[in-house]
Amino acid sequence: MSKVLPILTKISNFLQDQDTDLKVVKTLKHVLSEQLKKRTLDTDIINMACLLNPSTKDPTFMTEEAKVEVMDRIKREASEVRIQHVSKVKVKVEKSDEQASPSLPSIPELPSDDENKNNQRTTKEISPEVPNSSVKRKLADMEDWLDDVICVGESRLDTTNVIDLEVANYFSTVTDTNENQTLLQWWMQNESVYPHVSILAKKYLAIPASSVPSERVFSLAGILVNKKRSRLSPDSVDLFIFLNKNMKDYW
């Protein structure tokens, strides 16, 4: 998907009128350009994929306004990713706090002499006081409310500042491209450096740029399912397609 925008730009440049072109050639180029524009009206996804590719994150064929717009969208979506991650962590912590309240063994009181009861030994079981979950929630709410005033432990940065620093670092760092390294391998290697941007990269770069592979699967399904195999279940058809596509690579 990250190569769609460079390819479209290459084709558009090739379809520009030249002084040496014949009239019929100019007409053909004009028709092709119009048809190409109709099929590429929505460029949000291909722009995002282009800038999320480290080798094409600074395209010369894109205007500065378009770059800023895409970078702002990356920041917005990365902020949403961070907010979702923080909320999931809070939910897990709250659940673990509620579940982690083991019952402690009762502690017997030391024996004491009681003259009124003929020096009989009595024991009274006492259990330690454990704050209930409602008190814990109130304390946690108070800590969250005072986060912007009191900072305990690690210094906390605002979500906007964290995302701005990460995105700025991604676009300002010079990327050393390795011909033997795939795009997926690069993002796996730098996932710890750009944790939020890497999630967006997986989201957009995994989109197929063409429907040809899926059409090939449908063609294969048409070959497998014929009149003599019309009683095959959908699960069996899926299994046959999977074996046909992967048997040559693994067996």
Name the residue ranges covered by the structural domains of the chain. Answer: 4-100+159-209, 212-251
Digit-coded pLDDT (tens) for 54-102: 988 988 888 889 899 999 999 999 999 888 877 665 555 555 555 555 5
User: How much is the pTM?
Assistant: 0.60
**Tokens 């940065």 — which residue?**
157
Cα distances (Å, whole numbers) of residue 201 to 54, 153, 184, 191, 204: 10, 32, 9, 10, 5
Q: Which long-range contacts (CB under 8 A, 24 or more apart) does 211-220 make?
A: 217/241, 217/245, 220/244, 220/245
| Tokens describing residue 230 | 């019309």
- Pick 140 or 220 by higher pLDDT: 220
Let me know: does 94 contact 140? Beta carbons within 8 Å: yes
Digit-coded pLDDT (tens) for 184-220: 899 999 999 999 999 999 999 988 888 777 777 777 7
Average pLDDT over residues 14-35: 91
Which of 79-83, 124-128, 224-228 is modeled with the greatest confidence? 79-83
Let me know: does 52 contact 2? Beta carbons within 8 Å: yes
Query: Which of 44-48, 81-85, 90-94, 244-248 is least confident?
Result: 90-94
Answer yes or no: is pLDDT of 136 > 60: no
